[in-house]
Amino acid sequence: GGVAAIEAVNIEKARLLYAALDADDFYVNKVAPNNRSRMNVPFFLRDESRNTEFLAGAQARGLLQLKGHKSVGGMRASIYNAMPIEGVQALVDYLNEFAGR
């Protein structure tokens, strides 16, 4: 498949994750849709007092390194080429579960 196949998978991974984040107002993504990265997806919980709970639940499910950069806060999912779509689906499942969807 080469580079074109990798790009197609990356587009699908990003689409899947952004769709979950944009499903309602539980999560906030401050990046305009036309400027969103396919590799690093920053987001916030609308209720940031639940960040610690969110991160603990993610870690319990093997979803690691989601804490955002110290200067920005929030969360950040890095979904580079090596991240399989199954890993993104696991994160989406957790996002939906945590939001009570």
pLDDT value for 92: 98
Question: Can you say whether the dihedral through the CA atoms of 15, 9, 81, 91 is positive or negative?
Answer: positive
pLDDT value for 101: 83
Average pLDDT of 29-53?
A: 97
Average pLDDT of 31-60?
A: 97
Cα(100)–Cα(40) distance, integer angstroms: 24
pLDDT band at 52 (very low <50, low <70, confident <90, very high): very high
Asked whether 21 and 97 are in contact (CB, 8 A), the reply is: no
Average pLDDT of 41-52?
A: 97
pLDDT band at 1 (very low <50, low <70, confident <90, very high): confident
pTM of the shown model: 0.94
Mean pLDDT, all residues of the chain: 96
